[in-house]
Structure 1
Amino acid sequence: MVRQSMLRLCLHISLLIGVFQPTYALPHASSSALYGWASANGNDESSQLAPLRGSSTLLGVVQDELSSGNSAEVPQSAYELAPGQAADADIGIPFTFKDTQNPQPIRGDLGSTDPGPRTYAYDRLNPNTFAPPSSDNGEVTQSKWPLGLSHNRILPGHAGWSRQENTDVLPGATAMAGVDMKLAPWAYRELHWHQANEWGIVLNGSVRVQAMNEDGQTFTDDLDVGDVWYFPSGVPHSLQALGLGSEFMLVFDQGNFSDGGTGLITEMFLRNPKEVLSKNLQAPLEDFDEIPQDQLYILNGTPAPKDVKEQTIPGPGGVASGNDSYTYHLSKQAAYETPGGSIKIIDPVNFPIAKMFSAALVTIKPGAMREIHWHGTSDEWGFFLAGNARVSVYEAPTSGATVDFSAGDISYVKATASHYIENTGDEDVVFLEMLQAPRFTDISVAQWLKLTPKQIIKDTLHLPDRLLDNLSPNKQYVIQGNRNLTALSSGSGIA
């Protein structure tokens, strides 16, 4: 008995020694076949090709380490500069990488080649970020968010989709947020309400809006491309696309707004006991057996009658009209024309119910620019509907940045920061400029110079009389320039 116990003890000791004995060699083929990639003891993380970790001889100085063929420079034969890119960086000529082979972060004598890794699509879309003019300086609040990078919420039955921008993706945009939404033909954005105020503009198609306010007033209207609506916080409403569907941009007066936090009639019904619904609506319990068991958000619907009057139900307070109207047909408003484009302004002066929403819909022709300006009391939330443009933002005291924008991009500029919008493409730029203000206003730099005593300007900026005499005392809004964006490459002439 004692001998058997000793044998068992020796066997246990030998097994323990085998387990804890260090193994430095690669596992044998038989071990690999049994245990796969790791060896039998389970902690020798190596393969039959190479160890997982390198030798300690690689620490520190290694003689003859460098390879003569490992260059960080891109040879001139492998890239080309865009037209205007070689001009003096102080001129800041706008250029594009549209037809440029292997774009490089060079402007005049600034910068150097970039061997990668790179995503060329980003470089081509953002030449003024990749190769900024020398006037850029310091750090400016991030001013751009492409909606193409927003997560898209797509709904069953091809009913539609929705994507948004808020402080989650554009942290500096604290005053306003945007939601881009598409409804298929006859689809609804279900009955809902918000904690924030909602301003909307139709981008494509047409839509029927319906609402009821606290006074029992109702409102129903059909809107076309370019028309606008506004619903104050708490006012319940619904939207239904008409026969060709509808896409619209919604702007809310809370930078952290999320459309996922909207109050929905489906959710409200689900969060109340059926007994309460029965009592409140004076209906038998079985009437609530088929209510949806989840929110609908966007849903397909029955075609609406052609005549909007068929769905206009007057309430005890009547039908909202005049200054109480929740819509404005901006598409029918004549634009203020300038040599460089046009501008339409909609604010509480002509759309009274939208008390703190002021907007300009700006069209900028090729070669033209929205003049340098700033807004005194409100941040500017912008949306590019068409074209390609660049914007330089100056934030006090010394920071400046130039950013490229194209259709589908959202821009954001802080109050009192100067900026412009310059068309850098060959088609019109259409741009929505939103303020949280009771009236659309801005400070025009050119007007400021003209209406300041000439001697002050000359002593400060050393500008010649011919320049100051040529300025207009009126705002220009959109200024036409040379359609040849590289006309100043030689260092002289007028843009």
Structure 2
Amino acid sequence: MEIRSKFSIRLIVLAITINLSLALPSSPQPYSWTGSFGDDESSEISPLRGHPSLLGVITKEVNPESSASVSSDKYELAPGQGASAELGIPFTFEDTTNPQPIRGDLGSTDPGPRTYSYDRLNPDTLAPPGSDSGDVEQAKWPMGLSHNRILPGHAGWSRQENVHNLPLATAMAGVDMKLAPWAYRELHWHKANEWGLILNGSVRLQTMNEDGQTFVDDLTEGDVWYFPSGIPHSLQGLDKGSEFMLVFDQGDFDDGGTSLASEMFLRNPKEVLSKNLQAPLTDFDDLPKDQLYIFNGTPAPKDIKEQNVTGPGGFAAGAESYTYHLSKQKSYETPGGSIKIIDPINFPIARNFSAALVTIKPGAMREIHWHGTSDEWGFFISGNARVSVYIAPTSGATFDFSAGDVSYVPATASHYIENIGNEDVVFLEVLQAPRFTDISVGQWLKLTPKQIIKDTLHLPDSLLDNLSPNKQYIVQGNTNLTSALGSRGPT
């Protein structure tokens, strides 16, 4: 009897508990996947996550207002864009509404999302010629996308290109640097060899080598300098300031890793500095508290002779000079433009740096060529151009370049530089070689027995007879970019 009473009591307690639990309000759990935060992940209007009914098949889901096509009245093709893709007619989107990835009968419209500025700058990437094939690594880097290091007091700035933003460029890197009037690039030295070209303005350069020979010189737009690794030097912008392009023979070069005079003094105990330089400790009280890198200075004396400091080693001159006044070198003229070559033959101290400063007139092109032993690092100073790169055995890609862009082409890869704009293209090409050399495709065809060429490429005698046995460097062309169409069809 006692056992039954206890059992009855338990049943009554359980029933009351169940009724109470049913009567209590429950936490809203609208969907089975609501997280541990419960209502914190929802609002009174809508949940953070949707309902399970949205999974899988839903009838009548097509939205007739959404389309992946662009109607023909919403875009236009650029002149030459409608021509057969195999012709590869150059075109620009400069005056084109809503550029589209179409070339001839290839491609289709793109409704977006898009950044039209990229498309306008890169028509041959958006709508490549039919000759493009396979996989060619990115060969272009705009310096305008490089992080800019800007310095206090409006002293200047510096930005760089290396393998971190252009992985193909394994052998060379570039630094674009600006010094305000009288600003210094502080006393420093590098692990890499440095080759420089002044883009604008003027600069005073100073150095000393291992033999105690000193050197100071003023350079202006178009002039060149060279510093071997380990040689300390400084640069100062003159009264108009200066911007210059530096090329280093290491693809992973980082200008932030430069050895600096200020840092060297900070990293040595003052007791050591005092002993080494035979000076009282108080002489080091005003040392910079941090690196200087680029900083404002006092005006350089107008008479450069006032800064000609010489010791027992004398002054570096002749073949040991660290500068070359390329601005005063006469250009080699061709019908399509001009070229200046500077290499160790005329600038001996730059032992493995060879370069060409090329000017290409509108419609003309730097002839198809390749470099047998060196990659080519390039910088576009002005104008608009396109470059097609062929890499064995079957890959080819076309890239578009404008002022401020860096280009990079591996050794033995054929390429050209075609001016597709209305102004001169000025282009710097740099090699790691003791002499500036290339293989000209036109010259190769001319100097190969005609039978071999005809059996291989089926080219007519009229073409082969018209070729020159000399390198052309720059080939003249028609400024009408669609002139190659002739009667082949619509543009």
Q: Does the alignment pair 1:487 with 2:483?
A: yes
Secondary structure, counterpart of 1:163 in structure 2: strand
Q: Which residue in the other structure is 2:407 paired with?
A: 411
Secondary structure, counterpart of 2:73 in structure 1: helix
Secondary structure, counterpart of 2:117 in structure 1: helix
Separation of aligned partners in 2, 1:253 and 1:429: 25
Separation of aligned partners in 1, 2:242 and 2:311: 28
Secondary structure, counterpart of 2:236 in structure 1: strand
Q: Which residue in the other structure is 1:95 paired with?
A: 91
Aligned length: 468
Separation of aligned partners in 1, 2:311 and 2:180: 29
Give the letter aligned to residue 350 of structure 2. Answer: A
Paired residues of 1:390 and 1:421 also in contact (CA < 8 A): yes
Q: Does the alignment pair 1:322 with 2:318?
A: yes
- The Cα offsets for residues 343-374 of structure 1, whole Å up to 9 and x where unpaired, read as 00000000000000000000000000000000
Give the letter aligned to residue 360 of structure 1. Answer: A
Structure 2 residue corresponding to 1:235, chosen from 218, 225, 231: 231
Cα distance, 1:490 vs structure 2 = 4.0
Cα distance, 1:49 vs structure 2 = 1.7
Give the letter aligned to residue 381 of structure 2. Answer: L
Paired residues of 2:125 and 2:399 also in contact (CA < 8 A): yes
Separation of aligned partners in 2, 1:47 and 1:191: 62
Separation of aligned partners in 1, 2:469 and 2:392: 26
Cα distance, 1:400 vs structure 2 = 0.4
Q: Does the alignment pair 1:435 with 2:431?
A: yes
- The Cα offsets for residues 247-285 of structure 1, whole Å up to 9 and x where unpaired, read as 000000000000000000000000000000000111111
Q: Which residue in the other structure is 1:24 paired with?
A: 29
- The Cα offsets for residues 48-78 of structure 1, whole Å up to 9 and x where unpaired, read as 2211111111111111111122110000000
The 5-angstrom pairing of residues 289-300 of structure 1 reads 289-300=285-296
Q: Which residue in the other structure is 2:4 paired with?
A: none
The 5-angstrom pairing of residues 242-321 of structure 1 reads 242-321=238-317
Q: Which residue in the other structure is 1:58 paired with?
A: 54
Paired residues of 2:29 and 2:38 also in contact (CA < 8 A): no
Q: Does the alignment pair 1:376 with 2:381?
A: no
Cα distance, 1:142 vs structure 2 = 1.2
Q: Does the alignment pair 1:448 with 2:444?
A: yes
Separation of aligned partners in 2, 1:417 and 1:175: 15
Structure 2 residue corresponding to 1:68, chosen from 50, 64, 82: 64
Secondary structure, counterpart of 1:180 in structure 2: strand
Separation of aligned partners in 2, 1:236 and 1:169: 28
Paired residues of 2:172 and 2:248 also in contact (CA < 8 A): yes
Paired residues of 2:385 and 2:400 also in contact (CA < 8 A): yes
5+ residue gaps, structure 2, are 1-16
Secondary structure, counterpart of 1:488 in structure 2: helix
- The Cα offsets for residues 154-208 of structure 1, whole Å up to 9 and x where unpaired, read as 0000000000000010011000000000000000000000000000010010000
TM-score by length of 1: 0.92
Separation of aligned partners in 2, 1:304 and 1:64: 78
Paired residues of 2:28 and 2:39 also in contact (CA < 8 A): no
Paired residues of 1:91 and 1:491 also in contact (CA < 8 A): no
Q: Which residue in the other structure is 1:220 paired with?
A: 216
CA pair 71-490 structure 1, distance change in 2 beyond 3 A: farther
Separation of aligned partners in 2, 1:119 and 1:182: 30
Separation of aligned partners in 2, 1:189 and 1:42: 60
Secondary structure, counterpart of 1:84 in structure 2: coil
Give the letter aligned to residue 338 of structure 2. Answer: S
Paired residues of 1:88 and 1:491 also in contact (CA < 8 A): no
Paired residues of 2:367 and 2:475 also in contact (CA < 8 A): yes
Structure 1 residue corresponding to 2:168, chosen from 155, 168, 172: 172
Q: Which residue in the other structure is 2:393 paired with?
A: 397
Paired residues of 1:87 and 1:490 also in contact (CA < 8 A): no
Secondary structure, counterpart of 2:265 in structure 1: helix
Structure 1 residue corresponding to 2:468, chosen from 465, 472, 478: 472
Q: Does the alignment pair 1:388 with 2:384?
A: yes
Which moved further from structure 2: 471-480 or 40-49? 40-49
Q: Which residue in the other structure is 2:355 paired with?
A: 359
- Identical-pair percentage: 76
CA pair 282-52 structure 1, distance change in 2 beyond 3 A: same
Separation of aligned partners in 2, 1:129 and 1:367: 20
- The Cα offsets for residues 414-463 of structure 1, whole Å up to 9 and x where unpaired, read as 00000000000000000000000000000000000000000000001000
Q: Does the alignment pair 1:349 with 2:354?
A: no
Secondary structure, counterpart of 1:269 in structure 2: helix
Give the letter aligned to residue 61 of structure 1. Answer: V
5+ residue gaps, structure 1, are 1-12, 27-37
Cα distance, 1:315 vs structure 2 = 2.0
Separation of aligned partners in 1, 2:28 and 2:352: 74
Give the letter aligned to residue 272 of structure 1. Answer: N
Q: Which residue in the other structure is 1:9 paired with?
A: none
Structure 2 residue corresponding to 1:337, chosen from 329, 333, 353: 333
Secondary structure, counterpart of 2:306 in structure 1: helix
- The Cα offsets for residues 129-150 of structure 1, whole Å up to 9 and x where unpaired, read as 0001000001112100000000
Separation of aligned partners in 2, 1:141 and 1:70: 35
Cα distance, 1:24 vs structure 2 = 1.5
CA pair 467-20 structure 1, distance change in 2 beyond 3 A: farther
Separation of aligned partners in 2, 1:407 and 1:485: 20
State the superposition RMSD in angstroms.
Answer: 2.0
Separation of aligned partners in 1, 2:324 and 2:434: 16
